[in-house]
Structure 1
Amino acid sequence: MKFLTKEDFYNAFKNQTHVEQLKQIPQKFNAVHNEETKTSEITIYGVIGTSWWNDSFSASDIDQAIKEAGTNDIIINLNSPGGDAFDGISIFNRLKRHEGKVTIHVDGWACSAASIIAMAADELIMELGSMFMIHEASNIIWGTKTDMRKEADVLEELEEGIINIYMTKTNLSREDVRAKVDAETWLSANKAVEYGFANKAAGNNSDEENKPQNTVLTVEDKRGILNELQGILKPNNQKEEPTERQQQKVAAQRKGFFF
């Protein structure tokens, strides 16, 4: 077995359309803790897993940031092509054990191992234009046919564990998730929400309070409106002046309705 290089990592993507964009993600990791608001904001940009490259970050970095957060709610800004699967799994489990609420914003990409981290969110928000990608685990090996078969078995078991993580959020069946993993599936923000991986796509107005409310008319409401219309439609010589009580009743029935 040999260690993966950066090129090996990106070459493992079946869809090479976005690779150059993914390579341009700046490597950035930092944590800011606000004791007044009891929130900690963590930025996770770039490749995950120091076991691969010196310019990445690891599960140990996240663990330290969470320890410093104490019981604060955590807000994570995520933009990553992925990286080491086991670091991604470790970060997922560490975030799931955190006492405070975990909100994750996918600012650009949540691919591969980063999609595993995203599943730790109590609320996962896909920002405008962001993408979510799941695919097969991969590795580069050198050796005999026995070595290759053993590695294939390890990758199969690893994927089963990763699918278990996806199943904690998605509304898809396990068979559907497996098929999407095998095919390497890239999801828009809206698709990620539709499949249950994310809770919200930024820009979609899901606030029920802002939606127009449908008003249900009672039988008495309908009769009152009908009587009013009949009075309006009478010939002039038959039209009667409504009494003060009738005027008050009609006014009450009109309240809250717009025609």
Structure 2
Amino acid sequence: MKRKFGFKNQAYNEKLSSIPHNFAATHDEEKGVSELTIYGDIGESWFWDSTSAVDVDNALKQAGTNDIVVRLNSPGGSAFDGIAIYNRLKEHPGKVTIHVDGWACSAASIIAMAGDEVIMGTGAMMMIHEASNIVWGTKNDMRKVADMLEELEAGIVDVYMTKAKISREEITEQMNAETWFSALKAVEIGFATSTALTVEGKDESEEMTQMRAQMQAMQNKIDELTNQEPEKPTPVKQNRVVRLF
């Protein structure tokens, strides 16, 4: 059963609903790194497979003090599970690196904010929007839910503001408008630290810099040897031999 999304922009609905669920955790004690894969919906669901805060909590307990690498590709889901996963990752003692492999929408964008390093994959996107809920009942019931959603959104803005380079008011406006960020835009706004392309370019640049430094050092040594004046031979004092005939 494919999930239907209430996003204002329905252009990506089919692609988002086709993300297969995949939650996996591997632990490399030798390297001190644990990798978590979070693909698909966030939060407990009766209708489709999903990744809950409990799943992530159990995986982090098994990780111990390992550094954490999260592979994220999700349309979102439960804001409360997203917040719980965010806080659980933030409290983890090791470094947390999050790779947005495809999408980090809605609740998944909250999870992404937990990364000490957030790397947007080539072509990856991030989306933030208003919190929503399904409510049935009286006008007072609906008002209570609206008040709760406003409080929830205030907390979500708090999370975004831990990384955002713009004002709280601007973040709120972008949530209300449902804003989609490309990889570069996510870096520009502060939600991500780099893109896969800039990380690759940085590595290549560092290698080139090291090679240039080594070549320059060799050239300096050659120049030093070339410019040295040849040492003058030390005159040898010749002893006169007196021969008697």
User: What is the TM-score normalised by the length of structure 1?
Assistant: 0.77
Give the SS at the match of 2:27: strand
Letter aligned with residue 175 of structure 1: E
- The reply on whether 1:110 has 2:104 as its aligned counterpart is yes
| Contact 1:52–1:84 (8 Å) recurs in 2 | no
Pairing of 1:246-257 with structure 2 (within 5 A): none
- Residue 47 of structure 1 corresponds to which residue in structure 2? 41
Distance across 2 between alignment mates of 1:51 and 1:84: 9
- The reply on whether 1:155 has 2:154 as its aligned counterpart is no
| Contact 2:69–2:97 (8 Å) recurs in 1 | yes
- The reply on whether 1:145 has 2:145 as its aligned counterpart is no
Specify every segment of 5 or more residues in structure 2 that has no aligned partner in the other structure, as ranges. 210-226, 228-245
Q: 1:6 Cα deviation (Å)?
A: 3.1
- Residue 178 of structure 2 corresponds to which residue in structure 1? 184
Give the SS at the match of 1:74: strand
- Residue 15 of structure 1 corresponds to which residue in structure 2? 9
- Residue 232 of structure 2 corresponds to which residue in structure 1? none
- Residue 168 of structure 1 corresponds to which residue in structure 2? 162
Give the SS at the match of 1:42: strand
Q: How has the CA–CA distance of structure 1 residues 179 and 210 changed in structure 2, closer, same or farther, with 3 Å as cutoff?
A: farther
Pairing of 1:1-259 with structure 2 (within 5 A): 6-7=3-4, 10=5, 12-51=6-45, 53-204=47-198, 205-206=201-202, 209=206
Q: 1:57 Cα deviation (Å)?
A: 1.8
Q: 1:46 Cα deviation (Å)?
A: 0.1
Letter aligned with residue 163 of structure 2: K
Larger of the two Rg values belongs to structure = 2
Give the SS at the match of 1:104: strand
Specify every segment of 5 or more residues in structure 1 that has no aligned partner in the other structure, as ranges. 213-247, 249-259
- The number of equivalent residue pairs is 209
Distance across 2 between alignment mates of 1:134 and 1:52: 25
Distance across 2 between alignment mates of 1:97 and 1:193: 23
Distance across 2 between alignment mates of 1:57 and 1:197: 22
| Contact 2:43–2:78 (8 Å) recurs in 1 | yes
State the percentage of identical aligned residues: 63
User: What is the TM-score normalised by the length of structure 2?
Assistant: 0.81
Q: 1:178 Cα deviation (Å)?
A: 0.4
Q: 1:210 Cα deviation (Å)?
A: 6.6
Distance across 1 between alignment mates of 2:144 and 2:32: 47
